[in-house]
Chain A
Amino acid sequence: MIGRTLTMIGAALLVAMPLRVEAHHSAVMFDDQKEVTLEGTVKEFQYTNPHSWLLVDVTNKDGSVTTWGFEAEGPSTLLRNGVRPADLKFGTKVTITGHPMKDGRPGALWMKAVRDDGKEFWPGGRPRAAAAQ
């Protein structure tokens, strides 16, 4: 019952509250119904306005490497959420989760990253459910 209620709340919020109503551009190119979680190493943290990008090199099953870009808001939003430029330096190992692009390119809307020391980074803010843990 609780799970069903939470699902309904989640669905209602999805309808009522677009994730980024007035940011620089619409987030419509990302699929907010899907998540992708990847392990890789940080290639570059582009700490820029109006959006930041965390570039992560991911090794595929065939041994090739694909660079994925995870998009977040700009520096002031990242700083308010405790994500500093020095936190994710070149070579840092991360497990990163985001909403992937609809067109299949290796890009995603960055939701969460976990550094290899266990520290979590939520560029859009930590969800209450996660914060309570």
Chain B
Amino acid sequence: MRHLVLLGFLILATGTAPLAQANRQAPDEFRRMLAMGAKYATGSEFYAALKKAAPGGGRQVPAFTQLPDWSGLWMASGGGNFFSSGPGGVAPKLTAAAQAALKQGSDNEKNGIEYDENLSQCGPPGYPRWLVIPFLREFIVRPEETWLTSETVNNVRRIYTDGRDHPPVDERYPLYYGDSIGFWDGQKLVIHTNQLMERSMGRNQPVQSEKMETVEIWQKINPATVKADVWLYDPALYAEPWYVERRYSQVPNEDKSLRIRYWNCNENPNNDVLKTPDGSTNYKDFTFDDKPKEPSK
């Protein structure tokens, strides 16, 4: 019992930011944002409407000096969930397939079965999962292109803001992070992403389809916080478009000692994991284990 209390405090210290901030958005604001995206059947239509309403029809490429300062290091600090209820208890309207997948995932967790089809072998987390992954991020802003990067598996989302469109339909194919185009509406970066790959949205989470597309609005809301409003459209998962607000907090780094370093999962063989016969995760043989034996699972 004592351990339970201690572990609770450990979690309080290390991982409660998402809990504390999950309901930071007021219910009325959440419903307003959800309704904004729900007016459109597709993300493309929503993005086109936002672009049309922006000054200059979203076709103006700002000068570098007009862009916001998003420099520094950032970490995800909470916000909405892809499948849980939002502020005020509004639940996403999920397809039967998504509900079944969530039930299966929940059962797996109860039975201690977890395996990460994307990350365990150091594959890309992909997008939109990228929005919720931990560790350091950098946001590199230039007039013609913005890079939204993350330390996790060295990933980079390239957002083209030079006026280009998505590739022609005949040139499209599924991508881990999709194809992202955007425009600046004042200090807000508006992004449309499509061409996404069919893959898991997280450990024991449903699988998104290739029809997934999103609209995002990124902005700095105070010196230490960048937030992203995200609308998700995927008829395989959502009967109606869903909306989440995600926040990213600046990481204190006064002495500039923190830097993003390269990830190579082959660097240390002690990090090699396998998928067990029951579908869970365990380590392969350790190099430090002087009495190796077969994992029980």
Contact = CB atoms under 8 A, between A and B. Distances in A.
Interface stretch (B40-48, B62-70, B176-184, B287-295): B287-295
B13 interface: yes
A113 to B, nearest CB: 14
Contacts of A22: 119, 125, 129, 132-134, 202-203
Interface string A16-39: 110101111110110011110000
A70 B260 CA distance: 23
A19 to B, nearest CB: 7
A28 B281 CA distance: 7
B123 to A, nearest CB: 10
Given A25-B119, A127-B13, A32 B281 contact: no
Contacts of A103: 282, 295-297
Contacts of B129: 22
B151 interface: yes
**Chain B residues touching A, range:** 35 or more
B100 interface: no
B271 A24 contact: yes
**Chain A residues touching B, range:** 35 or more
Interface stretch (B53-61, B207-215, B218-226, B261-269): B261-269
Nearest to B291: A66
Contacts, number: 185
B11 A13 contact: yes
A100 interface: no
Contact of A48 (B5, B268, B283, B290): B268
Interface of B: 1, 3-16, 18-19, 112-116, 119-120, 122, 125, 129, 132-136, 151-153, 202-203, 251, 257-265, 267-268, 270-271, 273, 280-283, 286, 288-293, 295-297
Given A51-B270, A76-B136, 11 more contacts: A17-B11, A22-B125, A24-B152, A24-B271, A29-B282, A49-B262, A50-B153, A69-B288, A74-B263, A105-B292, A128-B9
